């Protein structure tokens, strides 16, 4: 008897668009298939009001020391965002977090993007975004929308 083992599939579809005069639409689909295990999640399209127009897009080189991700001064209040590690080497990750200058003086990491990995979500309105490459400098693509 031949045993068939399905490959691990992890797919995520990301849709973030500005529609109408003051609306942002986000949709995430996640699928995991590993052998007989299967899990799917589809948020469906969710719409959010955008208080004022504006966005900041850049690709920034991030080194192995913590550094602030540059968001244009046109953005006065952080909103929905998208970050992607442009590096194609999966093991060369970038850590994302906030800088705790008051207590520990350290980058407090809450997210790690492997090479090619991405993240989408709504940022805290006023916190700066800090990043640090794990092994070698990587390019990070970032798009932040005005809240």
> pLDDT tens for residues 37-66?
999 888 888 888 888 888 899 999 999 999
CA–CA separation, 109 and 128 (whole Å): 13
Tokens coding 82: 């998208």
Domains contained in the chain, CATH given: 1-49 (no CATH), 53-147 (2.60.120.10)
pLDDT digits (tens, 9 = 90+) for 73-125: 888 888 889 999 999 888 899 999 998 776 666 888 999 999 999 998 889 88
Query: Model-level pTM?
Result: 0.79
Q: 117 or 26, which is more confident? A: 117
Contacts of 24 (CB under 8 A, 6+ apart): 16, 17, 18, 47, 48, 49, 50, 79, 80, 145
How confident is the model at residue 54, as a pLDDT? 84
């Amino acid at each position: 008897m031949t045993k068939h083992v399905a490959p691990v599939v992890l797919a995520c579809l990301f849709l973030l668009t500005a529609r109408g005069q003051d609306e942002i639409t986000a949709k995430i689909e996640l699928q995991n298939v590993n052998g007989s295990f299967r899990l799917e999640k589809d948020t469906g399209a969710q719409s959010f009001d955008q208080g004022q127009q504006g966005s900041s897009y850049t690709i920034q080189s991030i080194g192995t020391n913590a550094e602030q991700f540059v968001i244009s001064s046109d953005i006065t209040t952080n909103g929905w965002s998208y970050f992607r590690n442009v590096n194609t080497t999966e093991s060369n990750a970038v850590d994302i977090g906030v800088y705790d200058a008051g207590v520990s003086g350290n980058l407090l990491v809450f997210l790690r993007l492997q090479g090619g990995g991405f993240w989408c979500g709504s940022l805290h309105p006023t916190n700066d975004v800090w990043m640090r490459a794990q092994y070698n400098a990587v390019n990070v693509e970032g798009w932040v929308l005005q809240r």
